[in-house]
Amino acid sequence: MTDYNYFIAARVIHILGVVFWIGGVAFVTTILIPALRKNIEGKQRLDLFELLEGRFAFQARIVTLITGFSGLYMIIELNAWERYLHPQFWWMHLMTLVWVIFTMVLFILEPLILHRLFHTQASKNPARTFAVIQVLHIFLLTLSLVAIAGAMAGAHGYTF
C-alpha cells in the first residue's frame, strides 16, 4: 500500500470514528436523556442511565482513541502543524478541543470524579441532575456538530 492509500485509510477510519462517537452522543442527548426524564422516575432512572450510558462510554473510549490517533496520523502525514497558527483553520482547533474535552471526560473526569458526583446528586435531586446533564450534553453535541461542519467545509477548501 502506498503512503497515499494509508492516508485515505486513516481518513476513512477517522470519519467512521467520528460518526460512531458523535452519533452516540447525539443519541444520548436527544433520545436517551429526554426519554428518561419524561418516562422514568427515581432510582430506576439513575440505574437505567448508568447501564446504557456506561456501555456507550466504554465504546466511546475506544473510538475516541482511534479517532485521535487517525487524526494525529493525518496531521503528521500532511505536516499540517502550521494550520494551528492560522485562524482560517479554526475548525482544526475546534476538532482538537472537542477531542480533548471528550478524552478528559471519558478517561479522567468521569471515572475519578463525575461518576460519583452524578450518582450523589441524582440520588438527592434527580430532576435537577438530569436537567443539568442534558444541558451539558446539548452543549457538547452542539460544539461537536460545529466542529464537524467546519471540518467538512474546511477539508474541501471553504474558508469562513
pLDDT tens for 61-76 read 999 999 999 999 999 9
Q: Residue 157 — pLDDT band, cuts 50, 70, 90?
A: confident
Question: Would you say residue 23 lies in a domain?
Answer: yes
Q: Which domain holds residue 151?
A: 3-155
Structural domain total, the chain:
1
Question: Would you say residue 160 lies in a domain?
Answer: no
15-47 pLDDT, tens digit each: 999 999 999 999 999 999 999 999 998 889 989
CA dist 103 → 2, 62, 76, 100, 154 (Å): 31, 10, 20, 5, 23
Rounded Cα–Cα distance for residues 83 and 120 (Å) = 43
State CA 63 to chain mean position distance.
9
Q: Which of 146, 151, 153, 140 is CA-nearest to residue 103? A: 140
Question: Would you say residue 140 lies in a domain?
Answer: yes
Q: Residue 160 — pLDDT band, cuts 50, 70, 90?
A: confident
